[in-house]
Amino acid sequence: MGSVPGNRFMARLRKAGCQSGFWLSSASATVAEVAGGAGFDFAVIDAEHSPNTITTILDQIRVLEAASVDPIVRPGANDAIRIRQCLDIGARTILVPMVNTAREAEEAVRATRYPPAGIRGVSMGHRAFGYGRRANYLREADAEICVIPQIETLEAVANLEAIASVDGVAAVFVGPADLTADMGLIGQTDHADYRALLADIAHRCSALGVRFGTLAAGADQARARRALGAGFVAAGTDIGLLRQATDALVGYLGTHGDER
């Protein structure tokens, strides 16, 4: 158990094509297990807009790994302590919310690296270390950690090249909800102005040789984002699919509310 497992998600980012994923917000390992069985390349475990705790994140990492689905963890903030906890339980790809400047991207990368390259605290008894059995972990871990800043504001878009060029940044992720809100188009992820901005981001990332990813509202939007050259797209969410399915079922069956 000496060597650190390779980061398959990060390795695939370096190749052509687009990885398909799913978004998990329910804080349920059972839901993650069901979704993982579908055969996605990756799944994002969200701790920014969900009731996830470090324990529920760990449970979901375990079931996704068992299904050979690469877990991506989004901590609640660009915070060294939260990032450290995610790394210690075994996350190797960190999606960092609300990164607006190169300096903030540098802080995120430093939170994932051991000294002297960064500020990650050293412990030898955690899960990523194999509970003390992974002898090479401290030497090899940094190279397998994938840091992805989220581009979610017009300020971040303006600083895209600087953010994407930070050493240790593996890709960028365009957050559609917050970015459309900052544009004055809250919730309008198919608006022509947003689509034009996304196309511009895609062009600039291509010029930099940096992959970008995003979240799509369903299969049609996912295909459109892939056509722009996205390297990874989460094509749906657990909460969204459950809501759609239950609404459709009630609409089909009807209710007896008027008889109660």
Number of folded domains that form the chain: 1
Name the stretches of the chain with pLDDT < 70: 1-2, 256-260
10 Å CB burial of residue 109 (0-12, 13-18, 19+) is buried
Q: Tell me whether residue 48 is in a domain.
A: yes
Q: Tell me whether residue 185 is in a domain.
A: yes
Q: Tell me whether residue 169 is in a domain.
A: yes
Q: Residue 191 catalytic?
A: no
Whole-model pTM: value is: 0.95
Q: Tell me whether residue 260 is in a domain.
A: no
CA atoms within 13 A of residue 159's CA, in its CB half-sphere: 18
Q: Which two tokens stand for residue 158?
A: 């303006």
Domain residues for the domain of 129 are 8-253
CATH number, domain at 35? 3.20.20.60
Q: Tell me whether residue 99 is in a domain.
A: yes
pLDDT, residue 260, reads: 44
Could you give the C-alpha distances from 6 to 9, 11, 38, 91, 234, in angstroms and in order? 9, 8, 23, 12, 22
Q: Tell me whether residue 1 is in a domain.
A: no
Q: Tell me whether residue 104 is in a domain.
A: yes
- The single residue of 49, 126, 203, 256 carrying the catalytic annotation is 49
Q: Tell me whether residue 188 is in a domain.
A: yes
pLDDT in tens, 221-256: 999 999 999 999 999 999 999 999 999 999 989 876
pLDDT in tens, 132-170: 999 999 999 999 999 999 999 999 999 999 999 999 999
